[in-house]
Chains A and B, each alone.
Chain A
Amino acid sequence: MIETLQGLYAYWFITALLLLGLYGMLFKRSLMKKLIAMTILQSSVILFFVVSGTKWGGTVPIVDPIIGTDDPTKYISPLPHTLMLTAIVVGVATVGVAFSLLIIIYRRFHTLDEELLLERMKE
């Protein structure tokens, strides 16, 4: 039990965030809270990539004259981090679209509560 926890704290934290996000999206009634939960879910995956790309004793992937190029394992792979820059941009765009939809919904129905919304949609 302890072995599966040790050294993987970051991954357990990310799993907890992911589950928290899913829980919020499923069980919160307010659309705004669902959106917040969605960003938590996205952040957990972004953190997952960042964590998977780090290592102890590694440095930024720019050739350092002191370290040299003999041992490439001393450099961190930059790919996961750069991928996540793109994913963050995608996430920002998604949240932007979601907010504009929420504004329209609020203007039309005067509520963001899911059950009230379902009632008012039937009218």
Chain B
Amino acid sequence: MNDHIPVLIPVTLLVAALIIPLAGIRGKGWAHTVAFAGVLLSLALAVEGMWLVLATGTMRYALGGWTPPIGIELVLDPLSAFMTVLILAVGTLVLLHARTSVAGELPHKSVPFFSLCLLLLTGFVGIVLTGDLFNLFVFLEIGSLAGYGLAAIGDRRAPVAAFRYLLLGTVGATFYLLGVGLVFMMTGSLNMADLTTLLPFSTSEPPVMVGFVLMAMGIGLKMALFPLHLWLPDTYTFASSPSSALLAPLGTKVAAYVLIRLMVFVFEPGFSRDQLFVSDAMVWMALAGIVFGSVLAVAQTELKRMLAYSSVAQIGYIALGVGLGSALGLVGALLHILNHAVMKGALFLVAGNLRLKLGHTELFKLDDRLRTTMPWSMAAFVVAALSMVGIPPLAGFFSKWYLVLASIEQDAWAAVAVILVGSLLSAAYFFRILERVYLRPQGDSTGDTVAVEPAGGSAEVRWPMLAPTLILSVSLLVLGILNTVIVDGVLVRIVPNTLEGGQ
């Protein structure tokens, strides 16, 4: 049983995705029950897998009994175990939240919606678990196709944004595939473990260099690394709140994982840093993305759009950590993947709560009544916002701390300055909301009236929506306090010794 954990995680999700339409025939409630049960089961498997990996070491699973490098293998190593648990934990909470928000926003689409959600998670988990470059492309497309479907569910402009996402996402995947083709031509292998031994002999061959750059570009598009982020803001804004709550915390992080896997594990870290200057380019793109994303986030007047631009900036932090190419930078990037997934999850869930209760997410219509009508949602929002700004002891502070340390270690003073400026800008765009909601005297609102229930009746959302929101924001505090445990227990073991400053 334990030997089969790497394959059982995605298979559970896939089977649940196929059962949902059948369960949906019996009644709409069943669709959600099956989806939630499926994700919960695979989360349990992932946690057990992580436990085993940390105790006994990497697990490898040869699909169909074909031994690698001929067959495809699934690999559960510390990095993929960490990502799997993260994806499924956030996915579980978002799906718990989605029961009510889907019923409110998409009453007739709940069955296909949950099926798509599970296909999306199947794709993401598959990307993280696979040990084969081409299989990664297939899972990338499974996840992306489900993502296009989810992004198209929303307001009337959502299909246009989803179509643009589809075009750019397919270009990204095609570039990745072309890169895989070039690397395969020179090495004759697609297996990642096999490639780590074969590639050092051919890293000076032009096709391998071009292939690597193409793969990095393709994944950069999927990851929305500035200036390849153009599909992101519209997609997140126009999608329904349950779809954006699932896409925003996870979609770009999974692409960031692929980049880390390629740059640090499959290819030698020195290849992208010293030979090709991909790392340098990434650092500059990341810094530009942090400034650009934060400045545009300040300019937005709609909550989800603001969060989308803030995602562009946060992806910059992750790319910066990867691009610095040191052990400390990688730890910062991985910790930021974790923290940002939780923070963005919490913020998008609050946006979903607001949309359900107020019917909109316009910033200038939010006012002080929210602090009495929706006290718990707004409290969760405050915690997540403070964490985004980077206030200790919340989680967001520590990942930025590691990134600053990594930048100082590399004498990248521009990066230190940009991280600080980015934090100040995120304070600017979050505090104007907090100011509207908390810092004005009661009854001083001059804005448009808010459609909340009459005075005395609390308009707070019910517990199935409130619980995941609060769990995510409380876990920000927990992750912040336990950051040394996470870094020493898990992240340090991920960092390979080929990396500068690694064990």
- Which residues of A are interface residues toward B (Cβ below 8 A)? 18, 22, 25, 31, 34-35, 38, 41-42, 45, 48-49, 52, 77, 79-80, 83, 86-87, 90, 93-94, 97-98, 101-102, 104-105, 108-109, 117, 121
Contacts and interface: CB of A to CB of B under 8 A. Distances in A.
Contacts of B181: 45, 48-49, 52, 80
Interface of B: 134, 137-138, 141, 145, 148-149, 152, 156-157, 159-160, 162-163, 166-167, 170-171, 174, 177-178, 181, 184-185, 188, 190
A41 B148 contact: no
A90 B184 CA distance: 19
Would you list the 9 A-B pairs with minimal beta carbon distance, nearest first? A104-B159, A90-B141, A101-B163, A45-B178, A121-B157, A101-B159, A105-B159, A52-B185, A49-B181
Contact of A101 (B152, B157, B177): B152
Contacts of A42: 170, 174
Contacts of B160: 105, 109, 117, 121
Contacts of A22: 171
A89 to B, nearest CB: 9
Contact of B145 (A38, A80, A97): A97
Given A25-B171, A101-B159, A105-B159, 10 more contacts: A34-B167, A41-B171, A41-B174, A48-B178, A52-B181, A97-B145, A101-B148, A101-B166, A105-B160, A108-B156
Nearest to B156: A108
Contacts of B141: 90, 93-94
Contact of B170 (A94, A104, A105, A117): A94
A25 B160 CA distance: 15
B329 to A, nearest CB: 32
A87 B159 contact: no
A113 B167 CA distance: 15
Given A83-B134, A101-B148, A101-B152, A31 B163 contact: yes
Given A94-B145, A101-B162, A35 B138 contact: no
Contact of B138 (A25, A90, A105): A90
B166 A97 contact: yes
B178 A38 contact: no
A71 B166 CA distance: 45
